[in-house]
Structure 1
Amino acid sequence: MRVSKALIVLERGAPGHGWRSLDVRNRHLVAIANRPLIVHAIEGLERAGIEQVGIVADEVTLAATQQALATHPGRVRTTYIPRKHGAGTVACLLAARGFVDGEPVLVHTGDGVLGPRLGKLLDGFEEEPLDALVLLEPPDGRARRGVRAALDRGEFSGLCVVGPIAVRAAEHAARGRGEASWTDFLVALEHLRASVEARPMDGWCRCRCDDGEASLLRATRVALDLLPAAPPSAGVSWPDVEVQGRALIDPTASLTSTTVRGPVVIGARSRISNAFLGPYTSIGEDVVIEGTEIENSIVHDGARVSHVPNRLEGSVLGRCAKVSVDFELPRGLRLTLGEGAEVVFS
């Protein structure tokens, strides 16, 4: 059977669960290349041929997600499914019985950016006699035998294709458990003598809070690599500005005496002057950058960077963060840092 449905299961993070530089509880709503992460996830599903997407979560998370997606409409048909009882992936599958309706479904955790290869894996699932295909993200790119062992090693990518047996396995996994996990679900598939296989997933980057800001930077690189080869901004030109490669620049942004080397994205009303923006850099809305070089970094909305003497690289600046040089004497470092903040000098 053709896989035309995807189910995105969302878990609301606990207070303090997130990235140190960002005040984000729901990781699927963190901005990647100036758009919520879940928008990139849905676009990846569209590219793979998915036609219907069900999003299941508790009512609070669902409302925040629906609000975020309202400003980024896609082509797929989206259904919002409240999870009123239980927690975890299995509870989400059970809440989505009506949406799944006995058809094969791609289960997605909604917290990663998909490259172009997913469509081929879905085609392979349709052609083979499999009940479930678990997609892995092994550190060395090689999948090993043993699906449960792979989950225990933290290699699960957050993507799983399940056939019509999905709801039956979820019901089996939920028996006698308050919160059934992915491992419980896969054990249930084994008890039902289902055919389960694990394969590595290339071109996928999952944003993990326990991986720190490095996962945000990786996801941004994947997202920016998918930028189309289009003019930087139709009908808009900037004095003394050189744009090299792919760059998505909002027409309301202001650039002067700057070099932009893509892939780069620059948000609305940002002001860039006497700067160099290197590859894989994402600049949010209302950002001010003066006399600074930035590469492979994320600068969120409202941040300001002024006359930093060294190139900023591999950095993540949260909303309204400020990094500047004070030329007054006596010279010294003056830092205002919140709990869990990190500063690295090199």
Structure 2
Amino acid sequence: MKALVLSGGTGSRLRPITYTSAKQLVPIANKPILFYGLESIAKCGIKDVGVVVGETAKEVMETLEDGSRFGVNISYIRQDRPAGLAHAVFVSREFLGDDDFVMYLGDNFILGGIEEFVEAFRVAQGGVNAQILLAKVEDPHRFGVAVLGEDGSVVRLVEKPEVPPSDLALVGVYIFDKHIHEAVRSIEPSRRGELEITDAIDRLIEDGLSVSSSIVEGYWKDLGEPEALLEGNRLALDLLEGEVCGRVDSSSHIQGRVVIEHGAEVVASVIRGPVVIGAGARIEGSFIGPYTSIGPHCTVRSSEIDYSIVLKDAVVEYVGRLEGSIVGKAAKVTRRESRPSALRLVIGDNSQVELS
């Protein structure tokens, strides 16, 4: 079995963060989202992984390299434009051959991994041609939605329906055998101008092939929006074991599960976990509250930060309290002390600022 990991796309819902970084490489708990998927794939015993890349190919390739850090062998597959998930399968035909494969969307986070789903497909030994993962959601119109028969078999799929026929959304992990290639070649672009994987799976069903489903009982999230990213960060931090490798002075207090990486310094501060402080960061005279990730080489001075993500090289100084926030790489958030008292903002396209 092989794996196909999709790491193209523009990440428009995460702008401005994704103007300068691939969305799949945005970190939760100081680790890129994409790493969680690759680690899960490696735990399934899969060695050959194709990574589909687009306009952020250079950054993705420099970060993942040959895949050896994950115990896999990575081949890179170029997708010239984001033309749909089925199109990603189409351009990957040579790499995939006739092997079974897992298709994993690189911006998805599944707490607990995918090993049990992959094993179920393997046990079926050809009795199933495709397997999809589903999760119950409150807003199914935003997703591909499945309709199941009484026996749990997949009857049909609908992509982003205005009137959803169920509340079962497609999770961004699929398992296919070789029959998907003919299905992908036989479908037409949707009204969005893309080759939809839902249409290709529907074609499998129409051709009398077997499509099974599994319900994800644990946490799953498409981390394509700021609120989801913060929630994913919370859950990833809940998995951490505390470890202090950096320097903590005698006037600081560490409470709960806290990771302080090598080279980080905590001075006259309170850190209440779960929290991760990245390598080379400096926390001075501040409070860092639960479910916060401070990236490498950040500076936090005389501030309070809670339930937030601060990316590498950012500076937060003299700020009363930040909560539920995402601070981009090398960004600076500070308080102006001089008169006249006023707000001064320099923010990019698609930014969001909320003032109390």
TM-score (norm 2): 0.82
Work out the CA distance in 2 between the residues paired with 1:76 and 1:330.
Answer: 58
2:92 alignment partner in structure 1? 96
The runs of 5 or more residues in structure 1 that have no matched partner are none
Work out the CA distance in 2 between the residues paired with 1:174 and 1:69.
Answer: 33
1:287 alignment partner in structure 2? 298
Is the 1:281–1:298 Cα contact (8 Å) retained in structure 2?
yes
Is the 1:282–1:297 Cα contact (8 Å) retained in structure 2?
yes
1:255 alignment partner in structure 2? 266
Q: Secondary structure in 1 aligned to 2:243?
A: coil
Deviations, residues 296-324 of structure 1 (Å, cap 9, x unaligned) = 10111222212222x32111111222222
Q: Aligned residues: percent identity?
A: 29
In 2 relative to 1, CA 85–36 (structure 1 residues): closer, same or farther, beyond 3 Å? Answer: closer
1:87 is the counterpart of 2:83: yes
Q: 2:329 aligns with which of 311, 316, 319?
A: 319
Q: Secondary structure in 1 aligned to 2:174?
A: strand
2:243 alignment partner in structure 1? 231
**1:107, distance to aligned residue in structure 2 (A):** 0.6
Alignment of 1:187-336 (within 5 A): 187-201=202-216, 202-208=218-224, 212-227=225-240, 229-233=241-245, 236-309=247-320, 311-336=321-346
**1:55, distance to aligned residue in structure 2 (A):** 1.0
The runs of 5 or more residues in structure 2 that have no matched partner are 141-145, 149-154
In 2 relative to 1, CA 49–314 (structure 1 residues): closer, same or farther, beyond 3 Å? Answer: farther
Opposite residue 266 of structure 2, the aligned amino acid is: L
In 2 relative to 1, CA 239–124 (structure 1 residues): closer, same or farther, beyond 3 Å? Answer: same
2:157 alignment partner in structure 1? 148
**1:230, distance to aligned residue in structure 2 (A):** 4.6
**1:140, distance to aligned residue in structure 2 (A):** 4.8
2:63 alignment partner in structure 1? 68
Is the 1:169–1:188 Cα contact (8 Å) retained in structure 2?
yes
Work out the CA distance in 2 between the residues paired with 1:53 and 1:71.
Answer: 10
In 2 relative to 1, CA 24–181 (structure 1 residues): closer, same or farther, beyond 3 Å? Answer: farther
2:172 alignment partner in structure 1? 158
**Cα-Cα RMSD:** 3.1
**1:49, distance to aligned residue in structure 2 (A):** 3.9
Which shows bigger deviation, 61-70 or 250-259? Answer: 61-70
1:137 alignment partner in structure 2? 135
Q: Which has the higher strand share?
A: 2
In 2 relative to 1, CA 169–203 (structure 1 residues): closer, same or farther, beyond 3 Å? Answer: same
Work out the CA distance in 1 between the residues paired with 2:221 and 2:196.
Answer: 21
Deviations, residues 57-96 of structure 1 (Å, cap 9, x unaligned) = 34x5433311121398211222223346993322321332
Q: 2:2 aligns with which of 1, 5, 11?
A: 5
TM-score (norm 1): 0.84
Q: Secondary structure in 1 aligned to 2:313?
A: coil
